[in-house]
Amino acid sequence: MSPAATLNHITHARYLRHDTGGGHHPEVPARLAVICQALGGQAELFNLITSEPQPAERQWLLKVHSENYLLRFEEAALSGHSFLGHHDNQLGYETYEIALLAAGGGLAGIDLVEAATLPPPLFCSVRPPGHHAEASLPLGFCFLNNVAVAARYWQKKYHRRRVAIIDFDAHHGNGIQAAFEEDSEVLYISLHEHPTFSFPGTGYADEIGIGPGRGATLNIPLLPGKGDAEVKAAFANQIEPALARFAPEAVLVAAGFDGHRLDDMSGLAYSSELYGWLGGQLTSLARRHCGGRLVSILEGGYHLESLGESVGQYCAGLVSMP
Amino acid sequence: MFIATFMTTPARTVSPDTLLSEARELMTTGKFRHLPVVDEERRLVGIITDRDLRSAMPTGMLTEAEKGAYLQRFAATTVRTIMTEAVANLTAEATLDDALLLFDRTRVGALPVVDGEHKVIGIISVRDLLTAYRQLFGLGVKGSTLIGVVDQGDPTVLTRLTGALEAGQIPFTRLIRTGELGGHGSVIYVRVHTHNLNGVHNILAGAGFKTVAPGIERSNDHA
């Protein structure tokens, strides 16, 4: 008997060709391979429908990034530079085009959600990741801010003005925060390891937005060693009330899986099961507030075994709500 | 490490004959809270602070008439009357550490900086000191992380640590060895500038180090 649920998986074969130089770089193509394998192995839970996105059009990138930066990034890739700005940000000849496809992942997800009467469960497995990238700054393996571009696309193309972004990557999404910190119509909520002990050193609880955006940024730093209980408490005490007050018309998720206890890119100690809980929780919150319009886009997650398992759990959570 | 790099220079100063109302105006418009008092040769003779001025202002206990008379007297009073004469100061050769110790001993908010003839050439505040240490420690630079490792106490521990990081091309700024602090074992803190923390942990584990953070001891036990 085949399962009733389907999961839309948006990914692209070319994502595997973003070359981070080998060596000890943790942001490797194998990350997507383990995810695809894990999702393919869940046949008893959902039918997997995989599709490939188009590259994001320049007009959407320019809502977040500067023209100058896009030119500099493209030139660096095409002229054979091995990194952009910092050794962390390794790139290859094809990286610019692949980054456009990564930014396009979220846009394809939004198109799918908007085309359906009942938004389907959906996950975008993209790389390079995006949430550290700022308007003119590559940082922490990120070049284009996939989630920030998606938020602007949702607002402009489908007139969903109030977009909430929930970022559960173990690291603070400084790029998403910077893109929207003066904007009252995008709520950015980030749960991450405390900035004193973690990259990139931003995301203190007192960073709550600037000017008209004051109150539309919610940072929840967790000390090293914290895990499932603290995340669930943060949802109940801070995230759910903040979403209710904000009343979003759409929800984007910056889905990073490096808070897993086996992933030593952070000192957080999440279980694989927590990601299943998050998938269910976010689905039910999106249904409660905005007709289930929910798009999740991959950020970090570097311990290959736990990454596959965690994304599998998360997606099972997304489809678990009847 | 010298305060000359971080002090405000030249400093705004007043003379002992400056009126309190003028001193208050200077502080309000300049947004500072300490004014060194100098003689005709710019030699340091005292200091006046916003707290001195606030204490000299009329209190809410007075009637309107009393307050008016008091304010008139306030406006006509000179700095000489309420300034602090024995004022702690530093020379430009002083280090930030000297400044920190002097701030700690004197509990003041700012220290005039003088030359060999006791002439005021600048001023350094606790705020300036915070900025200086923040810059020296590489704090607030986006993209950095503080890593703590157990200090194994052997004579070449720092060489091994920095050598391993440099060989792994991991940029770092702050390096602090705490020594025994309040019953806790010694920890070496290093601020690394990379997102490749997995790489950092592998390098540290490969060099025989154990990392620490509050609440957890990383095991580094996975490949």
| Active site residue ranges of A | 132
Of A103, A88, A86, A91, nearest in space to A18 by CA:
A91
Residue A126 forms part of a structural domain: yes
Query: For residues B196 and B207, what is the distance between their CA atoms, to the nearest angstrom?
Result: 17
Nearest-by-CA chain A residue for B168: A24
| Domain residue limits at A38 | 6-319
Report CA-CA distances (Å) from A64 to A152, A175, A206, A297, B163. Answer: 8, 10, 24, 17, 40
Query: For residues B169 and B19, what is the distance between their CA atoms, to the nearest angstrom?
Result: 60
Of A192, A263, A261, A256, nearest in space to A222 by CA:
A192
Pairing mode of beta strands B216-217, A83-84: unpaired
Delimit the domains of chain B by residue range: 3-135, 145-217
Stretch among A194-203, A305-314, B37-46 having the lowest mean pLDDT: A194-203
pTM attached to this predicted model: 0.85
ipTM over 0.95: no
Q: Domain spanning B145-217: which superfamily?
A: ACT domain (3.30.70.260)
Interface of B with A (CB under 8 A): 139-146, 168-169, 193-199, 201-202, 213-216, 218, 220, 222
Candidate from B142, B195, B199 with C-beta closest to A202: B142
Q: For chain A, what is the domain count?
A: 1
Query: For residues A168 and A264, what is the distance between their CA atoms, to the nearest angstrom?
Result: 16
Answer for the pair A139, A28: CB distance below 8 angstroms, yes or no: no
Q: pLDDT value at position B214?
A: 60
Stretch among A213-217, A286-290, B184-188 having the lowest mean pLDDT: B184-188
CATH number of the domain within which A108 lies: 3.40.800.20
Which residues of A fall within a CB distance of 8 Å from B139? 201
Candidate from B145, B169, B197 with C-beta closest to A87: B169
Which residues of A fall within a CB distance of 8 Å from B143? 86, 88, 132, 139-140, 199-201
Candidate from B142, B146, B215 with C-beta closest to A200: B142
Q: Between residues 56 and 75 of chain A, which touch chain B (CB distance below 8 Å)?
A: none
Nearest-by-CA chain B residue for A268: B216
Pick the CATH number of B3-135 from 3.20.20.30, 3.10.580.10, 3.40.50.720, 3.30.1330.10: 3.10.580.10
Residue given tokens 């869940």 in the structure block: A42
Looking at the complex, report in whole angstroms how far the Cα of residue A224 sits from the nearest Cα belonging to chain B.
Answer: 6
**Best mutation target, B142, B211, B219, to test chain A (most A CBs within 10 A):** B142
Q: pLDDT value at position B68?
A: 84
Residue A288 forms part of a structural domain: yes
Amino acid at B159: T
Residue A1 forms part of a structural domain: no
**Best mutation target, B198, B201, B212, B220, to test chain A (most A CBs within 10 A):** B198
Q: Do B143 and A26 touch (CB under 8 A)?
A: no
Residue B131 half-sphere exposure, CB side, CA atoms within 13 Å? Answer: 10
User: How many CB contacts within 8 angstroms connect chain A with chain B?
Assistant: 85
Pairing mode of beta strands A122-124, A6-10: parallel
- Of A317 and B141, the structure prediction assigns the larger pLDDT to A317
**Tokens (6 digits) for A321:** 């709500």
Quick check: B218 pLDDT over 90? Answer: no
Query: For residues B114 and B43, what is the distance between their CA atoms, to the nearest angstrom?
Result: 8
Q: pLDDT value at position A1?
A: 45
- Residue range B12-61, pLDDT digits in tens: 999 999 999 899 999 999 988 999 999 999 999 999 999 998 888 877 77
- Residue range B186-208, pLDDT digits in tens: 999 999 999 998 889 999 999 99
Query: For residues B171 and B133, what is the distance between their CA atoms, to the nearest angstrom?
Result: 19
Q: Is the Cβ of A139 closer than 8 Å to some Cβ of chain B?
A: yes
**Tokens (6 digits) for A91:** 């790139």
Quick check: B223 pLDDT over 80? Answer: no
First to last CA, chain B: 42
Q: Do A265 and B197 touch (CB under 8 A)?
A: yes
**Best mutation target, A24, A131, A141, A204, to test chain B (most B CBs within 10 A):** A24
| Model confidence band, residue B220 (pLDDT cutoffs 50, 70, 90) | very low
Question: By percentage, how much of chain A surpasses pLDDT 70?
Answer: 98
